[in-house]
Copies of this chain bind each other. A is one copy, B any other.
Amino acid sequence: MTVVVQLDELEERICAALEAGRQEEIRELLLRHHPADVADVIDRLDDDEQARVFGLLPPAQAAEVLSETDLAATRALVRRLEPVAAAALFAQMAPDDVVEILGEDIPEALPSILRVLPPAEAREVQRKLAYPPRSAGRLMTEAFVAAQAELSGAEALALLRRLASSVETLSDLFVQDEAGQLMGVVSLRALLSAPPSQPLRVLMVAPAAQVAPETDQEEAARLVSQYDLLALPVVGEGGIMLGVVTVDDIVDVLVQEGSEDVLRLGAVQEGATDEGYFTTPIWRIITRRIGWLLILFLTGTMTINVLGWFEEALAQVVALSFFIPLLIGTGGNTGAQTVSTMVRSLALGELRPGDIWPVVGRELISGLLLGLLLGVIAFGLTLLLGNEPDLALVVALAIVAICTWANTIGAVVPLLAHRLRLDPALVSAPLITTLVDATGLAIYLLIARLILGV
C-alpha cells in the first residue's frame, strides 16, 4: 500500500509513450497518479509536450492538475486553450486558484473567460482581483461555514454536513450576526465536544487573529504560524466577514516566500519563483539576473576610483595590493552574515521599528570582537609571510575596522529597508559586499597612509 511515487519513472514512461504516440497508455498513467504528481511531470516537459499531455486529461482532472502546475506552465497552457475550453476548466477550480492563474499576467484572456464562467464565480473572481496581489483577499476563499449564534450544536453539525462538500475548511464555524459581522468562532473540536443542545453563542470565542483583505500574505502567514490556526478570518469594513485564508494556502505562501528570500538574498530578481528550473528559457534567466549584476558592477567601479586615489601608495608598496582581495572578502563575509541574521529576525517578527539603536549597538560590538579575533590572526599571518611588522599592523587594524564597519552596515541597511516598507531580503548579501568593497578599500589604504606614510 506504500505510495512512494517515483516521479523519475513516471516521467520516463510518459515521455516514452509520448514519443511512440501511445495515447491510451499516457491517459492511464495520468489517471493513476495524484494530480500534484502529474503536475510535477508536466512542469518538466517542453511547451508542446505539455499541451499534448494536458489535452489527454479528462476535464475534472485537468482542472486539478492545472491548480498544481507551475504558474508559468499553467499560463502557457491556458493561453493555448479556447476561452470556452479554459472557462470550462476554471469553472471546476476554486476561485482563488483562478485568480492566482489569471492574476495581472494574462489580462488578454480575462474578459473572454469571465464572460463564459458561471456568473457567481465570475463575480467572485472579479471581487478578488480588486485586492492587491499577494494580499489575504486574493488568497481567501468565500466558501466557509457561517452560522448564527442561536444555532444549537446539533443544528450546527447538521449545517456542517450539508456544507461539507462545498466549503474549503471544516475546522472552524464562523458566527455572524444578521449584517454579516463576525461575532466569534467555534472550533470543530469545541462543537464536537459540547452537548448537542448548547447554542453556538456559548461555544464561540473571539478569533485569535483576523486580517483585512488588503493585508499582505506574509503577515497572514505569520499570524497562522503564531496562533496555530487552520483558518484565518478575513474581515472587511464594518467588521463584515469576507472569507477565510486556509492553512494549506499558508503552507504554499511559506514555501514561496522562503524561496523568494533565498533568491533575493542572492540578488536574483523575483518572479523567478513562478517558474520551474528547466522550463525557464535562458533569455529570461539572463534578464532576471543582469539588472542586479549591472547595478552591482557599476557600484563596484567605485573601487577603481578608490584605488586610483592611492596609486602612488600601491606603486611604492606593491605588497599592499596583495591583501586587497582578502580584506574586502572578509568584510563582505562579515556583512553577509549580519544581513542573513537581520533578514531572518525581521521575517520572524523579532525586531520592531524602535529597535534600531539597540541593534546597531549589538552589531557594532560583535563586529569589533570578530574583527579583533581575525585581526590577531591576520597580524601573525602577515608576519609569517615575511612582511614588515608595520605592514602587518596595517592589515590587522584594517581587518578590525572593516569587520566593525561591515557588521554595522549589514545591520543598518536591512533595518532601513524594513522601515521604508521594502523587503529586507532585497538588501542582498551581494549589495552589502559591493558597498563594503569600496568603503573597505578606502579604510585599508587610509590606515596604510597613516602608518606607512605612503
A-side interface mostly = helix
Q: Name A87-123 residues within 8 Å CB distance of B.
A: none
Task: Give the docked Cα–Cα distance between A183 and B297 (Å).
Answer: 60
Do A301 and B161 contact each other (CB < 8 Å), given the known contacts A293-B374, A337-B267, A341-B268? no
* Cβ contacts under 8 Å, A358 to chain B: 278
Q: Are A329 and B304 closer than 8 Å at their CB atoms? A: no
List the 10 shortest-distance A-B pairs measured between CB atoms, nearest first.
A266-B340, A258-B258, A164-B192, A303-B325, A254-B254, A321-B321, A333-B430, A228-B248, A277-B345, A307-B322
Task: Give the docked Cα–Cα distance between A363 and B267 (Å).
Answer: 16
Give the contact stretch, choosing among A23-31, A55-63, A203-211.
Answer: A203-211
Interface size grouping (class) on chain A? 35 or more
Q: Name A118-133 residues within 8 Å CB distance of B.
A: none
Q: Name A1-54 residues within 8 Å CB distance of B.
A: 1-3, 7-8, 34, 36-37, 40, 43
* Cβ contacts under 8 Å, A334 to chain B: 289, 293
A343 close to chain B: CB less than 8 A: yes
Do A301 and B289 contact each other (CB < 8 Å), given the known contacts A282-B365, A344-B263? no
Pick from B250, B267, B328: contact of A333, CB under 8 Å: B267
Q: Name A282-309 residues within 8 Å CB distance of B.
A: 282, 285-286, 289-290, 292-294, 296-297, 300-301, 303-304, 307-308
Q: Are B286 and A307 closer than 8 Å at their CB atoms? A: no
* Cβ contacts under 8 Å, A373 to chain B: 286, 290
A422 close to chain B: CB less than 8 A: no
Q: Are B325 and A324 closer than 8 Å at their CB atoms? A: yes
Pick from B171, B224, B304, B338: contact of A170, CB under 8 Å: B171
